[in-house]
């Protein structure tokens, strides 16, 4: 029990720091435009957070409501990681796929009702393929129904400091009531790294093998930008192209969230520019 309390206390302090930083723009925020042109979309929002200190280095409309799209699956995975930590499931636990889960629209793995997927493969399917059928299967397995699971996701969001987020489903598929903010997605990204260091490396997966197929991922920043080790991309028409990105380089760590890109390439180019501009300003651990 003691081993769990210390990390949670440190995490709570980090969230408090981040919350204070978000409200103290004069001292901690660089609100000037980055050197690359700001994305033109009215759906745009962004935040850059020093993941070592919790200090906000840059923000733009970071508390404005936005649609999370598949960034939602970051919380679905948080809930699954927590269930693993508590011993409710293991990496080999088989999750059944209901008819409702199987009929979810793409992207998905493509299960038939009654088939199943082990937890390890489910995690990889959510991280890489952003599989909607798997997200619903996980929700039903852990929560009974997707609606009940979404309520638990929202409660967990409040518990870790996400003040502007409401979840209605586990996948991020279109729902007018499902909203978040760039700041909240940064809080979630930091929570995933701090709370689940043993599971966080899943987010660096670029592909995985499942039943004789190689399933490839969507996060092109992994391998393209030095130090990027996840986390998640997302897109629906209402949101534009979203991404939450973790980067660790030379003792410095950032969480960068960009929402509302007009294309995946534009979004990725913008994130890369934000990383190169603000990473040198981040606290360097161990120095």
Q: Supply the CATH number for residue 50's domain.
A: 3.40.710.10
Reported as a pLDDT band with limits 50, 70 and 90, residue 5 is very low
CA atoms within 13 Å, Cβ hemisphere of 162 = 27
Cis peptide before 231 (omega within 30 of 0): yes
Structural domain count, the chain: 1
DSSP H or E segment with residue 257: strand 252-261
The structure tokens 């934000």 sit at 274
Distance, in Å, from the CA atom of 135 to the CA atom of 126, rounded to the nearest integer, reads 7
Out of 73, 108, 156, 253, which one is annotated catalytic? 73
Task: Look up 73 and say whether it is catalytic.
Answer: yes
Q: What pLDDT, on the 0 to 100 scale, is given for residue 4?
A: 44
Average pLDDT, the chain: 89
Question: Does residue 210 lie in a domain region?
Answer: yes
For CA atoms 151, 87, 124, 78, the dihedral sign is positive
Distance, in Å, from the CA atom of 7 to the CA atom of 3, rounded to the nearest integer, reads 7
Q: What pLDDT, on the 0 to 100 scale, is given for residue 39?
A: 65
Is the CB of residue 278 less than 8 Å from the CB of residue 48? yes
Question: Does residue 286 lie in a domain region?
Answer: no
Is the CB of residue 30 less than 8 Å from the CB of residue 21? no
Q: What is the pLDDT of residues 171-212, one digit of tens each?
A: 999 999 999 999 999 999 999 999 999 999 999 998 888 888
Question: Does residue 260 lie in a domain region?
Answer: yes
Task: Look up 90 and say whether it is catalytic.
Answer: no
Out of 62, 70, 121, 246, which one is annotated catalytic? 70
Q: Which of the 8 DSSP states describes residue 80?
A: H
Question: Does residue 162 lie in a domain region?
Answer: yes
Question: Does residue 59 lie in a domain region?
Answer: yes
Domain range for residue 256? 2-281
Question: Does residue 188 lie in a domain region?
Answer: yes
Out of 62, 121, 130, 239, which one is annotated catalytic? 130
Q: What pLDDT, on the 0 to 100 scale, is given for residue 215?
A: 87
Distance, in Å, from the CA atom of 257 to the CA atom of 103, rounded to the nearest integer, reads 30
Helix count and strand count (H, E) for the chain: 9, 9
281 marked as binding residue: no
Question: Does residue 27 lie in a domain region?
Answer: yes
pTM of the model: 0.88
Instruction: Supply φ then ψ for residue 245, to 5 degrees.
Output: -125, 135
Read off the tokens for 76: 């679905």
Question: Does residue 287 lie in a domain region?
Answer: no
Distance, in Å, from the CA atom of 46 to the CA atom of 253, rounded to the nearest integer, reads 17
Task: Look up 130 and say whether it is catalytic.
Answer: yes
Of 62-71, 91-100, 169-178, 214-223, give the lowest mean pLDDT range. Answer: 214-223
Helix then strand then coil, % of the chain, to nearest 5: 40, 20, 35
């Amino acid at each position: 029990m003691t081993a769990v309390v210390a990390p949670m206390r440190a995490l709570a302090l980090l969230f408090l720091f981040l919350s204070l930083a978000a409200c103290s723009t004069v001292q901690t925020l660089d609100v000037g435009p980055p050197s690359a042109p700001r994305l033109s979309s009215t759906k745009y929002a962004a935040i850059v957070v020093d993941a070592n200190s919790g200090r906000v280095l840059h923000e733009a409309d970071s508390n404005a409501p936005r649609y999370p799209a598949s960034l939602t699956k970051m919380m679905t995975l948080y809930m699954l990681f927590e269930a693993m930590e508590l011993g409710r499931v293991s990496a080999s636990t088989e999750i059944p796929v209901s008819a409702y889960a199987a009929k979810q629209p793409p992207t998905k793995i493509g299960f038939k009702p009654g088939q199943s997927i082990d937890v390890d493969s489910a995690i990889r399917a959510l991280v890489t393929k952003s599989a909607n059928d798997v997200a619903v299967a996980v929700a039903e397995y852990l929560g009974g129904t997707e609606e009940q699971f979404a309520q638990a996701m929202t409660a967990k969001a409040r518990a870790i400091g996400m003040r502007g987020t409401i979840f209605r489903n586990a996948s991020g598929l279109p729902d007018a009531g499902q909203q978040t903010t760039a700041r909240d997605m940064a809080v979630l990204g930091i929570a995933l790294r701090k709370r689940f260091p043993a599971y966080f490396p899943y987010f660096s997966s670029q592909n995985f093998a499942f039943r004789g197929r190689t399933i490839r991922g969507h996060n092109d920043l992994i391998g393209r930008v030095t130090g990027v080790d996840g986390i998640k991309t997302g897109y629906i028409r209402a949101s534009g192209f979203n991404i939450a990105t973790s980067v660790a380089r030379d003792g410095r760590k950032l969480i960068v969230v960009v929402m509302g890109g007009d294309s995946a390439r534009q979004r990725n180019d913008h994130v890369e520019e934000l990383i190169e501009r603000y990473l040198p300003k981040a606290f360097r651990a161990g120095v």
